């Protein structure tokens, strides 16, 4: 009999198991993964922006490790103390609830375990007998297919907290403005209470009801001695006062872009939430002083690790009139003069120049003849002055010497790709904005001047690797940065300290205004303009973008007391950099009393090189910048074969600078007079200076009273071949020797007139045209 009974029991048990497997296959567990919200978070896990699922539900995915242990303790104590011991259903709790409800005549106690509650969350049902049976069935399936931690994780992410909020992660951020890992005792108890009746207990609407429910949870925890009495008392004394509901609304443009850059549900960025909030507010406030329909983009990068700390893609995301939805950090625009530091760094690295090399700010007699921003020319300028003043002609001189194609390829090999017009090759115009780049690429490029000549891509996300591409040597980068800071004079060098170094840019037609700066810790990029590419009157980098650059830099300095000490970028001078006195016009080091040392400059030099002054190909072929002559014992210039002739050399200024030199520096003045008894061979073009006739500097012309045009009589003498005439930097005429300039002046003002000939000689006068009084 016993054996028969045992056999029946085994068969029955096997039948139950078989039936379970069959039913499990016929009615599988509806473990359809809930589509979690995609959340973009800051470096401290503060949500920047959320993208809800198709039903508008916000779920912030968390694991057990992401939640405060206090919350887990409170949840298990209140909902299911035996969660890790039972098989999903607690028979003792069911019997207790059954008799309590019969005795009271109403439902006063529930018996649902945490597993059963999770089953009801994944498959809701009505409170009926059939519904309870189905809930028990699904609970058994949960326990069969999932571990206890997996079931708990499912509850943590799917529990209802009112409205469109599901899960402890979303609830903690929404109601308390903090991560679930930061919950204290009172907050943990509150979060446990809310799912009991999410709509009725919403703490932002019904704080008194929510507090009563929280205290009920605390009493249960006290009853079982999980927390001590003092902790319970202090938790109850904490009133429920909630700030406005937290809705993440920072960096909307970057958040939207991040969706396409990462597949993660929680996209962990390097953004500093506080900095981002301050810069967005700064941008919105700027609208009051900006032109209509103008936008603003700002980017802040910590150059010690290239992490992006703030990304302001537009002046105001919600301002349609200013195209606030357009990401101007990522938009390809003309960079204006912001590429100039790269050619200076490359020229120093290649040994073409040093910090005080003599460059030429003069008109160009070629197919590409740009002007300076102020339409005037300065003549002889040092490399540091030319970069500091953002002069166009010296930059063109450098890229012509280095090579436009080589320049573009060097940037591309370092990760900076310039966008050229379709089917076109790199030209000299690139250095003045004749190519496209975005603010992101520009800021990345400027990392070369903060990271020892290495260019690094921006690191938007925490798991982005730090990559570096060699661009120039550390010494060339260091010298260029000092030139950008306006502190290129070695006499004022302070070890370990460097102020903000920056460069501005303005694109053709006043469409884009730029400023990129390097501080002790950050690279700051600013762009201002209209996203629809419409010109904006009076908009240029120094006037429009630089104020925002300084505003951001001042904010960064104010974030911590003694910012320079806390965030100091040690401006260590690389071993390859040294100081050398050099002489103009040769650009090289000469003895102080050498007659060819006409101007002494103290320069930063790289690899102990003092390269000679860059010359035009014509002058380089003719004399290499030096003129050899012979003198007798009376210091008279003689032929090389004369008796007692001694060889001398004269350092020549670049021919094109002739009109900007004082009379004492012209070749005809510096050479000794010729000997009558043994004169030298003709040195023609060296002493036949080109001069403007008929008008002198500071001459004042008066416009005729009748309103007729003024046509002054102006011509030139000396020089060789054709003459090119420039008025305020613009070519106005080309004529031959002994021909008059026929130009009609119709407006009063200050004018600069320059003439140049085929040998690149030139002369310059400045005069005034005014109305008759």
Longest dimension (CA), the chain: 151
Compute CA distances 212 → 99, 171, 208, 219, whole Å.
Answer: 26, 19, 6, 11
Instruction: Please report how the helices 392-402 and 404-413 are oriented relative to each other, as an axis angle in degrees rounded to 10.
Output: 80
**245: which residues sit within 8 A by CB, 6+ positions away?**
174, 175, 204
SS (H, E, C) 196-247: HCCCCCCCCCCHHHHHHHHHHHHHHHHHCCCCCHHHHHHHHHCCCCCCCCCC
Q: Is there a catalytic annotation at residue 384?
A: no
**230: which residues sit within 8 A by CB, 6+ positions away?**
none
The upper half-sphere exposure of residue 568, i.e. CA atoms within 13 Å in the direction of its Cβ, equals 11
Helix (H, G, I), strand (E, B) or coil at 309: strand
Compute CA distances 215 → 181, 234, 613, whole Å.
Answer: 21, 11, 84
Q: Dihedral, CA atoms, 700, 706, 708, 710, nearest 10 degrees?
A: -10
- Cis check for the bond before 701: say yes or no (omega within 30 of 0): no
**Catalytic-role residue among 337, 378, 456, 507:** 337
Give the count of beta carbons closer than 10 Å to the beta carbon of residue 212: 13
**Catalytic-role residue among 79, 166, 187, 280:** 79
Asked whether the beta carbons of 337 and 503 are under 8 A apart, the reply is: yes
Smallest CA-to-CA distance from 518 within 277, 301, 273, 275 is with 301
| Token pair of 197 as six digits | 């009746």
Residues 345 and 671: their CA atoms lie apart, in Å, by 37
Q: Is there a catalytic annotation at residue 664?
A: no
Give the count of beta carbons closer than 10 Å to the beta carbon of residue 631: 19
With b for 16 or more beta-carbon neighbours within 10 A and e for fewer, the 619-628 pattern comes to beebeebebe
φ and ψ at residue 360, rounded to 5 degrees: -115, 115
Chain centroid to CA 127: 57
Residues 308 and 444: their CA atoms lie apart, in Å, by 10
Residues 630 and 649: their CA atoms lie apart, in Å, by 8
Compute CA distances 410 → 431, 443, 445, whole Å.
Answer: 13, 17, 11
Residues 769 and 771: their CA atoms lie apart, in Å, by 7
Bridge-based pairing of strands 599-606 and 577-584 is antiparallel
| Token pair of 489 as six digits | 């004079």
DSSP string, 396-427: HHHHHHH-HHHHHHHHHHTT---BPPTT----
- Annotated catalytic residues are 79, 337
């Amino acid at each position: 009999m016993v054996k028969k009974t045992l056999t029946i029991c085994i068969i029955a048990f096997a039948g139950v198991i078989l039936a379970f497997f069959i039913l499990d296959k016929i009615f599988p567990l509806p473990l359809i993964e809930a589509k979690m919200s995609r959340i973009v978070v800051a470096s401290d896990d503060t949500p920047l922006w959320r993208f809800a699922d198709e039903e508008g539900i916000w779920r912030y995915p968390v694991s057990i490790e992401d939640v405060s242990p206090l919350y887990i303790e409170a949840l298990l104590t209140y909902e299911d103390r035996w969660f890790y011991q039972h098989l999903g259903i607690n028979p003792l709790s069911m019997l207790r609830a059954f008799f309590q409800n019969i005795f009271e005549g109403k439902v006063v106690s529930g018996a649902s375990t945490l597993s059963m509650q999770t089953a009801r969350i994944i498959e809701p049902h009505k409170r009926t007998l059939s519904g309870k049976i189905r809930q028990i069935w699904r609970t058994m399936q949960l326990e069969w297919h999932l571990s206890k931690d997996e079931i708990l994780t499912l509850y943590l992410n799917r529990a209802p907290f009112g409205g469109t909020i599901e899960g402890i992660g979303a609830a903690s951020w929404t109601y308390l403005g903090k991560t679930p890992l930061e919950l204290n005792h009172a907050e943990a108890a509150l979060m446990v209470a809310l799912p009991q009746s999410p709509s009725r207990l919403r703490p932002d609407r019904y704080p008194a009801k929510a507090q009563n429910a929280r205290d009920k949870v605390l009493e249960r925890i006290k009853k079982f001695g999980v927390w001590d009495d003092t902790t319970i008392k202090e938790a109850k004394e904490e009133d429920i006062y909630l700030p406005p509901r937290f809705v993440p609304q920072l960096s909307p443009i970057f958040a939207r872009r991040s969706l396409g850059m990462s597949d993660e549900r929680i996209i962990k960025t390097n953004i500093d939430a506080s900095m981002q909030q301050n810069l967005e507010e700064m941008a919105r406030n700027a609208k009051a002083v900006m032109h209509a329909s103008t936008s603003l983009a700002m980017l802040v990068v910590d150059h010690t690790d290239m992490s992006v700390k703030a990304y302001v893609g537009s002046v105001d995301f919600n301002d349609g009139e200013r195209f606030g939805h357009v990401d101007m950090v990522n938009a390809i625009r003309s960079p204006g003069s912001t590429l100039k530091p790269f050619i200076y760094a490359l020229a120093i690295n290649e040994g073409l120049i040093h910090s005080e090399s003599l460059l030429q700010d003069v008109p160009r007699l070629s197919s590409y003849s740009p002007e300076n921003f102020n339409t005037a020319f300065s003549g002889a300028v040092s490399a540091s002055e030319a970069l500091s003043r953002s002069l166009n002609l010296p930059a063109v001189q450098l890229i012509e010497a280095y090579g436009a194609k080589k320049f573009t390829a060097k940037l591309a090999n370092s990760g900076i790709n310039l966008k050229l017009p379709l089917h076109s090759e790199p030209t000299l115009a690139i250095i003045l904005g004749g190519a496209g780049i975005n603010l992101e690429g520009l800021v990345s490029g400027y990392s070369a001047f903060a990271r020892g000549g290495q260019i690094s891509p921006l690191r938007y996300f925490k798991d982005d690797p730090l990559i570096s591409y060699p661009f120039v040597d550390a010494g060339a980068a260091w010298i260029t940065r000092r030139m950008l800071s306006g502190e290129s004079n070695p006499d004022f060098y302070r070890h370990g300290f460097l102020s903000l170094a920056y460069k501005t840019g303005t694109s053709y037609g006043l469409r884009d205004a730029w400023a990129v700066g390097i501080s002790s810790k950050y690279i700051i990029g600013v762009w201002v303009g209209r996203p629809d590419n419409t010109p904006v009157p009076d908009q240029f980098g120094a006037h429009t973008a630089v104020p925002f650059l300084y505003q951001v830099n001042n904010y960064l300095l104010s974030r911590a007391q003694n910012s320079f000490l806390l965030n100091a970028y040690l401006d260590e001078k690389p071993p390859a950099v040294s100081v050398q006195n050099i002489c103009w016009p040769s650009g090289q080091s000469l003895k102080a009393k050498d007659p060819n040392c006409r101007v002494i400059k103290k320069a930063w030099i790289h690899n102990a090189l003092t390269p000679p002054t860059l010359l035009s190909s014509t002058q380089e072929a003719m004399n290499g910048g030096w003129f050899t002559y012979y003198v007798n014992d009376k210091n008279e210039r003689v032929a090389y074969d004369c008796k007692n002739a001694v060889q001398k050399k004269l350092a020549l200024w670049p021919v094109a600078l002739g009109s900007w030199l004082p009379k004492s520096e012209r070749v005809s003045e510096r050479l000794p007079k010729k000997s009558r008894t043994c004169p030298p061979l003709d040195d023609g073009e060296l002493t036949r200076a080109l001069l403007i006739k008929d008008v002198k500097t500071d001459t004042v012309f008066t416009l005729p009273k009748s309103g007729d045009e003024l046509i002054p009589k102006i011509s030139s003498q000396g020089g060789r071949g054709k003459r090119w005439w420039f008025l305020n930097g613009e070519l106005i005429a080309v004529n031959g020797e002994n021909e008059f300039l026929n130009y009609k002046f119709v407006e009063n003002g200050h004018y600069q007139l320059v003439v140049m000939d085929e040998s690149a000689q030139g002369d310059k006068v400045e005069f005034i045209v005014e109305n008759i009084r």
